[in-house]
A and B are shown apart, each in its own frame.
Chain A
Amino acid sequence: MIQLNRPQNPDIQENMWDKIDEIINSNKNKAGSVITVLRECQNIVGYLPLDLMDYIATGINIPASHIFGVATFYALFSLKPKGRHTIRVCMGTACYVKGIKEVMDRIEQEFKIKAGETTEDRRFSIEAVRCLGACGLAPVLVVDKDTHGGVSSDKIISILETYK
């Protein structure tokens, strides 16, 4: 087994590196495992820093350019740190017809960030996601693991105030 040099990164602690090594070792000879490895590593760290992607590339012996290409292609992966709370706003058609755009505009105005960004105090990250498949509750957004259905631009801020 190759011993890899763990890069210094303030967001990745030693125990996280141990888990990352486990993921790499159990996937290194599997064909097509890049997405799985990236997903599992992101679950541990919260996002995919560049030095982590380099580390993975060496670990599973796939060019870093390929890793970077995959990580930037799929919406699931984030190359930037996330906030304490992630607001996933459903931008599906049913939600759009029922006014999710106005809700999104309101959130963006209130916290002065755009979809895909994180507030400076790292309190919220906002993501625009494609249909969550919960059209019966439209318009819908999910904060961390809580689903909020039937949201509206006038009530959304008071809902978000409860997440500190």
Chain B
Amino acid sequence: MGKLTREDIKKIKEKKLKELHDASVTKLLLCGGTGCHATGSLKLKDALQKEVINKGLEKKVKIVETGCNGFCAMGPLMLVYPEGVFYQKISEKDVPEIIEEHIINKKHVQKLLYVDPVTKKTIPYQKDIPFFSHQMTIALRNKGLIDPEVIEDYIAQDGYMGAAKALLDMTPEEIIHEVKSSGLRGRGGAGFSTGLKWEFANKSKGEIKYVLCNADEGDPGAFMDRSILEADPHAVIEGMIIASKAIGAKQGYIYCRTEYPLAVSRLGIAIQQAKNYGLLGEKMFGSTHSFDIEIYQGAGAFVCGEETALMRSIEGKRGMPRPRPPFPAQKGLWDKPSILNNVETLSNVPQIISKGGKWYSSLGTETSKGTKVFALSGDINNIGLVEVPMGISLKKMIFDIGGGIPNKKKFKAVQLGGPSGGCVPEKYLDTPVDYEAIAKVGAIMGSGGVIIMDEDTCMVDMARFFMDFIQDESCGKCTPCREGTKRILEILNRICDGQGEADDIGKLENLSAIIINSALCGLGQTGPNPVLSTLKYFKDEYYAHIYEKRCPAKRCAALLKFEIDPNLCQKCGLCFKACSAGAITWKKKEVAVIDKSKCVKCLGCYSKCKFNAIL
């Protein structure tokens, strides 16, 4: 295939769209994200293919493996086009019925349809399911709709039109102006203006400049970048092409986590396809601009999400940050002017160029424009990815879209922004999704991880968890972060082990303030946030651990008795069944008893007991 011009792309688009809207062919869009792969979507795909061939329906049915659909809790899942019917939790056994009922008899397979947990109503179409209907997709617009390994699918959805416009019709200054006027801010965490960042790099002098994409999604509980890379890799490539023209770069790198093999593989395929079509390489679209992209795999270091550390890592060194200035826009990778944008940021760019900055800035709040992707997880019914306009409340996101807390448990807190973020309690759930508003309640927008915690979560233990993370991932270059986080962790460990001392809270606050003020990079400067935010809203739990030697949520093993209260025990035997160490004896209609000599303190029985009878 030779080099494509803008006209060629338009032709491909028209042809592909005709195919897509051809009602005589039913398209089974099967989710092929990491989550659905794990629940068996690949086997399902094989089974569907076999059944289609068995029934001689090859011309009437097309099976497409898409990227992550986002509704991960319901996998494996499938969308049927053109009607838009949504099937969930499909097993191989359901395949004959799907073909027989849906394809041949043109009826919905009732048992695989979504049932609203609140109203108990069956909802056949994806667009009507609350999880989807409250969303507004820009960065995720192609999720679950296209085959990420087929470039024509992306082109059919207006793909590469933004890049063509930028390369053929716009000057670098015009591109930067458009991105600035969109109000797009970095979606990786810091929230810096993307247009300004590009402007700085544009103004830096130098023949060689670099466009870098941060796909080192390290925040635990955030998986939007993985999902975009798996579902829509061309959007990221197109965003990088536009950025390269804006700053005058000829080479780009995507720094991707090695823990995301599927994303790496799909990116590789996408880059190769773009090269084959001449959309990457020399003089793209017949313009004078040339640009190429290489994938660079990370090696498992959280700190490499920090820009200067990431650049060191691409240079083949230890990923340690350095003080700024000079900023990467002046001296970045190999000391050349560089920009680093994250995956979600870049995937917004093509549409900002196509539809204009004004369109994008019409969405959102005063200071936070557009949409943001959030990864809902933890104790919530609808685990998955959601993209919402900035400004909607946390409550709406958690309860209307997320479907609330499972097992009739009570909401306790929501953790926003990963290890650098904070926990927000119930009373602040009306807070809108907005960089400044979230910061005001002691958390950060971060990369968009939203972890919901129910009443069984111990907040001291959570603070300890995050500190363990930060302490382990600290690169060790600066003393406040290396030593300070270690000391904080020791204090938290002591408190959770029932050895807390009266002045521990003061020590924690003091140490946190010192680290925030003196650490070298963002990792250390924000590291104590989880401690401070839990201290701010859940101090009573710290008091219970320190003074009463009690863990109210029953998660800290050292503070539990591993005894069953005969007055509360309902003799159901659930704890007996849950114990894999054989430490619990129980007979029907008798109170269970724990043999402490055999107990391995795994807490399996605590999570199973519905009556709070284990002390």
Contact = CB atoms under 8 A, between A and B. Distances in A.
A154 B602 CA distance: 8
Contacts of A140: 38
A34 B316 CA distance: 5
A96 B467 CA distance: 13
A75 B473 CA distance: 9
A136 B451 contact: no
B378 A131 contact: no
Contact of B469 (A105, A130, A147, A156): A130
Given A39-B258, A152-B604, A157 B221 contact: no
Contacts of B334: 31
Contacts of A33: 316
Interface in B224-262: 226, 258-260
Interface residues of A, number: 49
A77 B39 contact: no
Contacts of B226: 133
B72 interface: yes
Contacts of B532: none
A17 B35 CA distance: 37
B377 A70 contact: no
Contacts of A96: 220, 462, 465
Contacts of B415: 93
Interface in B272-329: 297-302, 313-319
B220 A131 contact: yes
B73 A132 contact: no
B285 to A, nearest CB: 30
B600 A109 contact: yes
A130 B218 contact: yes
B515 interface: no
B122 interface: no
B35 A134 contact: yes
A135 B383 CA distance: 8
Given A102-B602, A135-B375, A39 B297 contact: yes
A27 B457 CA distance: 49
Interface in B340-381: 375, 377-379
B603 A32 contact: no
Contacts of B221: 92-94, 131, 135
B72 A75 contact: no
B223 A134 contact: yes
Contacts of B452: 97
A158 to B, nearest CB: 8
A20 to B, nearest CB: 18
A97 to B, nearest CB: 4
Given A93-B418, A157-B580, A129 B259 contact: yes
B465 A74 contact: no
Given A73-B318, A106-B600, A134 B38 contact: yes
A84 B333 CA distance: 39
A43 B452 CA distance: 37
A141 to B, nearest CB: 11
Contacts of B375: 135
Nearest to A138: B377
A74 B607 contact: no
B313 A35 contact: yes
Contacts of B37: 147
A137 to B, nearest CB: 6
A123 interface: no
Contact of B316 (A32, A131, A136): A32
A70 B319 CA distance: 8
Contacts of A129: 259, 300
Interface in B99-139: none
A153 interface: yes
A102 B451 CA distance: 19
Nearest to A147: B38
Contacts of A73: 301, 318-319, 475
A39 B299 contact: yes
Interface string B370-405: 000001011100011000000000000000000000
A105 B558 CA distance: 13
B219 interface: yes
A66 B604 CA distance: 45
Contacts of A154: 577-580, 602, 604, 608
A133 B319 contact: no
A73 B319 CA distance: 8
B222 interface: yes
Contact of B384 (A38, A130, A136): A136
B378 A93 contact: yes
Contacts of A19: none
A91 interface: yes
A139 to B, nearest CB: 11
A97 B378 contact: yes
A122 interface: no
Given A105-B602, A129-B300, 6 more contacts: A35-B299, A97-B451, A131-B221, A133-B226, A135-B378, A137-B39
17 contacts: A66-B317, A69-B318, A73-B319, A91-B220, A97-B378, A98-B379, A102-B602, A109-B600, A129-B300, A130-B218, A132-B34, A133-B34, A135-B221, A135-B375, A136-B384, A137-B35, A158-B580
Closest 6 CB pairs of A and B: A136-B72, A75-B300, A92-B220, A32-B316, A74-B299, A135-B377
